[in-house]
Structure 1
Amino acid sequence: MPWKPKGKTKWIIGLVALAVVAFIGFRYWKGKKSALPEGIVSGNGRIEAKLADVAAKEPLRVREILVNEGDLVRPGQVVVRLDTTTLESSLAEANANVAATQEKLAVAQAGIVRQKSEIQLATIEVDRARRLVARGAGSQRDLDVRESELKTTRASLAEAEATLKTSQEEIEVARASAATIQTRINDATLRSPVTGRVLYRLAEPGEVLAPGGPALTILNLEDVYMEIFLPANEASRIRIGAEARLTADFEPDRSVPGYVSFVSPEAQFTPKQVETKSEREKLVFRVKLQVPRELAGRYVERIKTGIRGVGYVKVDPNAAWPSRLQNVITAEAEPH
């Protein structure tokens, strides 16, 4: 005799069937809602920012580091000071050399003034001796002596002028040397090149940095982007400068406007942190979606790199963004 469900069992089966139908309907509605219109493609990625190293130009000992990991820094802000004791001693010596060459120059200038006065006197005496010889009141020997003294004085003037020129050149060299040392001292005060957040503190006071050795690594929060990976048929349709949108997983209904700044000319495997294993086995092209600098600069205190999200790109300029991507963050809006 066939089994027939009792009343209570019928209710349970009916509820289960209703739940299954509702679940399927929800999945269908969800899929339709998340479906992208023709002309728009998307890919998974994460928010990233360019890195900037704060490094020493020459080997010097770290005197103090003024920031910690996570601190927000601005362009020109002093973040590290290196020990310049040796350089300051060299600068004092160079400045003393400048002073010495300036004294030498002053002596040469005074010598020239003196030589010119002596030439004037010797010229007068030669003219007088010539007149005396012409009148028969003076000797030729006395005239010859006066003329010889005039030539000697003129030679001394030429020597003094050469000394003056040498002294001027020595002053320029000494000043250049002092300026070079001062520049090295200035370079020992390391400043942030960008607006960003300290990602790594790579040195501590007392350590000696090698030439070009970084003391800090800073995230440039005005150069923010997302890299997504698209198959060839989609990547080939993207143009540089194409309009884009970026969303974060924790706030998918709010997007950030952007644009395509780079499309890789070579195919590659998708990085393991972006897609599933099956997706990673496919060859794709890397596409970089750049956030406008003025917009990123407006929200530097809120930007967090490494956050997962989705990037959307218009492959058709005439395509319309779906409603969920029209709630965009703008530079004019107040950060909150």
Structure 2
Amino acid sequence: MPKLPKGKMKWVIGVIAIAIIAFIGFRYWKGKKSELPEGIVSGNGRLESKLADVSAKEPLRVKQILVNEGDLVKPGQVLVQLDTTTLESSLAEANANLAATQEKLAVAQAGIVKQKSEIELATIEAERARRLVSQGAGSQRDVDVRTSQLETTRASLAEAEATLKTSKQEIEVARANAATIQTRIADATLKSPVTGRVLYRLAEPGEVLSPGGPALTLVNLEDVFMEIFLPASEAARVKLGSEARLTVDFEPNRSIPGYVSFVSPEAQFTPKQVETKSEREKLVFRLKLQVPRELASRYVERIKTGIRGVGYVKVDPSAEWPSRLQNVITGESASR
């Protein structure tokens, strides 16, 4: 190979030296940029959300499922309709029993009115018979007969009043039975308890669900959080409610505001999927970084759980977030 002239060789070596220095400087600058200031700690995690099952309270056949996997649902939205044919028959029978009991009550009330009228008449006749005896114009036998009739009528009134009381109790029982069946029919219409997305469709029309058997599993998109693991020296400085930031791998330059909602009271080993083996050999504490519900509710159509990222926590309230964590997602940009 032909040798380069001395001057040109020095120029090439200089260029290479400058490139190496620039590379080292860039790595140093990048490392310093990614460093966290004193008072802020971090840990790897992933966005998670609580799950909610839409389940049957009693064994009924699935009549209709109104959503598919991936659909976004709102609280109170009807998701599944169960077959209530047998319950509706029971309700009709309960309503008929209630009507018969109410009719029995009306008869008892009418009987009481009649008995009270007869008591008034028997009282008048008994009093008249006593006056006649005192005047010597009547017999004691007539007084005894009238008095006996009055006592018999009073006994009949007491019996009618007892029947009336029983009828009222029977009406309350019949009403409660009808209301219970009506509630069971209402429970056969399964509604969404949360704002979320259908994760699994676990049943199809025609299947009979067991008591408590789920028809759907929903992801609650208003209850979003990230769990991270910190060593004892860092976790001991964390307080509930401490300010937090969450970032996801696909958009590391934007952060999600949050707060510490849980700090485990017990140490544990870091799960396998979080860190390297050497890191897992250390005891750590689990923290839960919660995304505010009002913020999560504005992003329900964009939230994807399971995405990996990093969670940051202020252990010193006076610490300042680095510039890369100050580009915070807010509700105002939710519609963009």
Q: TM-score range by the shorter chain?
A: over 0.9
Alignment of 1:253-292 (within 5 A): 253-292=253-292
| Partner in structure 2 of residue 22 of structure 1 | 22
Per-residue CA deviation, residues 185-244 of structure 1 (Å, 9 max, x unaligned), is 111111111111111111111111111111111111111100111111111111111110
- Cα separation, 2, equivalents of 1:181 and 1:16: 86
CA apart distance, 1:334: 4.0
Residue 10 of structure 1 and its aligned partner are, at CA, apart by: 7.3
Q: Tell me by how many angstroms 1:279 deviates.
A: 2.4
Does structure 1 residue 244 correspond to structure 2 residue 244? yes
Offset from partner CA, 1:70-89 (integer Å, 9 cap, x none):
11111111111111111111
* CA separation of 1:221 and 1:127: change in aligned 2, threshold 3 A: same
Residue equivalent to 1:157: 157
* 1:35 aligned residue: 35
Match of 1:191 in 2: 191
| Number of aligned residue pairs | 334
Cα separation, 1, equivalents of 2:9 and 2:228: 51
Closer, same or farther: CA 268–4 of 1 in aligned 2, 3 Å: farther
**Structure 2 residue runs without a partner (length 5+):** none
Tell me the distance in 1 between the aligned counterparts of 2:205 and 2:15.
70
2: CA distance between counterparts of 1:4 and 1:24?
Answer: 32
Deviation of the 1:139 alpha carbon: 1.6
Q: CA deviation at 1:171?
A: 0.3
Q: Distance between the aligned counterparts of 1:227 and 1:206, measured in 2?
A: 40
- Give the TM-score normalised by structure 1: 0.94
Q: Which residue in 2 is equivalent to 1:69?
A: 69
Match for 1:42: what amino acid?
Answer: S
- 3-state SS, counterpart of residue 157 of structure 1: helix
Matches within 5 A, 1:307-318: 307-318=307-318
The alignment's C-alpha RMSD in Å is 1.8
Q: Deviations over 1:107-149 (max 9, x none)?
A: 0000001101111111111111112212222221112111111
2:61 aligned with 1:45: no
The answer to whether residue 334 in structure 2 is matched with residue 325 in structure 1 is no
Letter in 2 for 1:286: R
Distance 2:24 2:217 in 1: 50
Letter in 1 for 2:227: E
Find the aligned partners of 1:260 and 1:309 in 2 and give their Cα distance: 16
Provide the rounded CA distance (Å) in 2 between the counterparts of 1:50 and 1:298. 17
AA in 1 matched with 2:262:
F
Percent identical residues = 82
1:288 is paired with a residue whose SS is: strand
For 2:277 and 2:24, locate their aligned partners in 1 and report how far apart those are by CA, in whole Å: 26
CA contact (8 A) 2:247 2:254 kept: yes
Residue of structure 2 in register with 1:56 after alignment: 56
Per the alignment, in what secondary structure is the counterpart of residue 89 of structure 1? Answer: helix
1:18 deviates by 4.4
Q: Match of 1:166, SS?
A: helix
In 1: Cα distance, 2:74 partner to 2:3 partner: 74
Between the aligned partners of 2:297 and 2:225, the Cα distance in structure 1 is 13
Partner AA of 2:295 in structure 1: L
Instruction: Tell me the TM-score normalised to structure 2 length.
Output: 0.94
Q: Name the amino acid aligned to 1:124.
A: I
1:50-100 Cα shifts (integer Å, max 9, x gaps): 111111111111111111111111111111111111111111111110000
Superposed displacement of residue 9, structure 1: 7.8
Question: For structure 1, which segment, 236-245 or 203-212, has the greater mean C-alpha deviation from structure 2 after superposition?
Answer: 203-212
**Residues 69-218 of structure 1 aligned to structure 2 (within 5 Å):** 69-218=69-218
Shift, 1:253, TM fit: 1.2
Query: Bigger CA drift: 324-333 or 83-92?
Result: 324-333
Equivalent residue of 1:203, what SS?
coil
Question: Which amino acid counterpart does residue 190 of structure 1 have in structure 2?
Answer: L
Aligned residue identity for 2:4: K
Letter in 2 for 1:125: E
Query: 5+ residue gaps in structure 1?
Result: none
